[in-house]
Structure 1
């Protein structure tokens, strides 16, 4: 009989503010199923090891590993050592596209690849603990510094050996991001982040980014592996899931508040993503027993 404790996704499984950086340092529980969220996930293994089932591949991270993957792809922590402690964060896409990473690396991450580097040192757990404190301080200046410092730390990965899974071969890359596409994607993400709950389309996005609609769609698809509509839906569904788990609003109100033009469109998109209707999702989540999370030293038990 399996005596291990498992994580049951609740309201903290999907960010209520998918455009804000959130950090964690904890001893996580194994997951009963895959989950997703509308941010890029950063993991640093402080102690022990963790095994994930990713979209199309598996990944095992060991002590000292630094990993980066797109949380919009299903991922599942299905096995781990008893002493696992990991730190990390959920990085909004708008910040991810500020990174000076090789263009092909950004594209592969958004298409489901996992970046792993063992080129870390004793400063990393200290940094992650500080970023955790800064993001929860309530001080906008500290929160902004946490974002900037984390981005710089990720950018340093390009100067050391790293590997992209499922490709088993380690690689380094001397190239840089497309200097034209990256600022465009940042402008697109900025506009969508501010307006995803409104009725927007590729024309609105292109006007905000000051480019042609077809070029906006092409650049975004090339950089992220997602269409503009897919990304907007992901933001809306992330927001809707949090409302369904937390609020008493009707499904219709949640659909409208999340930016869907009709209940039928919301139900169709939600069922495609979650495999069930919004009503069944809310009933399933609220019907699960409470599971207390045992916090790690220095952490608060938050699980991503």
Structure 2
């Protein structure tokens, strides 16, 4: 990492990080970095001292800090403590059962320092499940993490800090992006195009694409595709529907598009994914849950998001 004179000047952009949970000894950082996704830190044995988006943040021993990792952040010191980290890719978070208040606060730039009851054994199990080869355990861990975030959502204070005019504009963009993500989560089995998604806000389709990408780091078309594939994974594991029928049920307009999207996102075809899920799973069938940035689709994609 290169040295920066301030937090906000050219922070290092790290490689994409998948859904992951791990524990270790923190080391002070010589420079700020950032990456897509939501980061959760739980120090034990002492506090952590951060700079996040240029503001100092102290995380007390045993507290939970949650923030959007796309904000430049730098660990200044963490004496005498070990840390439990949890990273949730933004697209994974948006594709889960929505946690609207938590997502809005985080994407609005807040760093949340909460005091939930800690069960370190829970994190230890996630560390094992997410680093192992079995897809079914990875999926169980993902469901548990989603439920845990819902518990954190209930701990949020009702009152938000007073926002500046710039923050107000940011909050509006975040609200639009969350509304569009929620619309796609609820209506993904239908034939949808970008104009349909933009109409729920409502915004002009081209401006809606820009807002969604600026906030989430991905496109409307890519988010919708991944939401459909996430539901297809569930149906393949939990039902006896044929792969072709699964693709139709989740909203793909053709089998070829479904098979191509499923293989690109999961690394294997639907039938192989079903076999791996029902036999305990191997790393070959493991879903790549990292957040990926894709170039905006060609103009035809604005009228064919399936």
TM-score after normalising by structure 1: 0.52
Moved >3 Å (runs of 4+): 99-103, 158-167, 177-182, 185-188, 212-220, 231-235, 257-261
Partner of residue 116 from structure 1, selected from 81, 102, 113: 113
Partner Cα distance (1:141, 1:219) in 2? 41
Residue 126 of structure 2: aligned partner = 131
Which structure has more relative contact order (CA 8 Å, sep 6+)? It is: 1
Partner Cα distance (1:164, 1:58) in 2? 21
Residue 52 of structure 1: aligned partner = 50
Gap change, CA 1:115 and 1:62, over 3 Å in 2: same
Gap change, CA 1:234 and 1:187, over 3 Å in 2: same
> How far 1:180 moved relative to its partner?
6.5
> How far 1:58 moved relative to its partner?
2.2
Residue 84 of structure 1: aligned partner = 81
Residue 5 of structure 2: aligned partner = none
Partner of residue 150 from structure 1, selected from 98, 123, 145: 145
Partner Cα distance (2:204, 2:107) in 1? 13
Partner Cα distance (1:219, 1:31) in 2? 42
Residue 14, structure 1, aligned to residue 14, structure 2: yes
Gap change, CA 1:140 and 1:215, over 3 Å in 2: same
Residue 228 of structure 1: aligned partner = 212
Q: Residues 247-274 of structure 1, C-alpha deviation per residue, up to 9 Å, x if partnerless? A: xxxxxxxxxx97559xxxxxxxxxxxxx
Q: Residues 22-54 of structure 1, C-alpha deviation per residue, up to 9 Å, x if partnerless? A: 112111100111111111111122221101111
Unpaired runs of 5+ residues, structure 1, are 1-11, 168-176, 191-204, 221-225, 236-256, 262-304
Q: Residues 88-146 of structure 1, C-alpha deviation per residue, up to 9 Å, x if partnerless? A: 2210113323354353x42221021011211223x2x1111110110011111111111
Gap change, CA 1:159 and 1:36, over 3 Å in 2: same
Residue 27, structure 1, aligned to residue 11, structure 2: no
> How far 1:230 moved relative to its partner?
2.4
Contact 2:98 2:182 in 1 (8 A): no
Tell me how many residue pairs correspond in the alignment.
Answer: 194
Q: Give the match's secondary structure for 1:130.
A: helix
Gap change, CA 1:140 and 1:58, over 3 Å in 2: same
Contact 1:54 1:73 in 2 (8 A): yes
Partner Cα distance (1:217, 1:180) in 2? 10
Gap change, CA 1:187 and 1:29, over 3 Å in 2: farther
After superposition, where does 1:56-67 map in structure 2 within 5 Å?
A: 56-67=54-65
Q: Give the match's secondary structure for 1:89.
A: strand
Unpaired runs of 5+ residues, structure 2, are 1-11, 163-174, 220-291, 297-306
Which is higher, the Rg of structure 1 or of structure 2?
A: 2
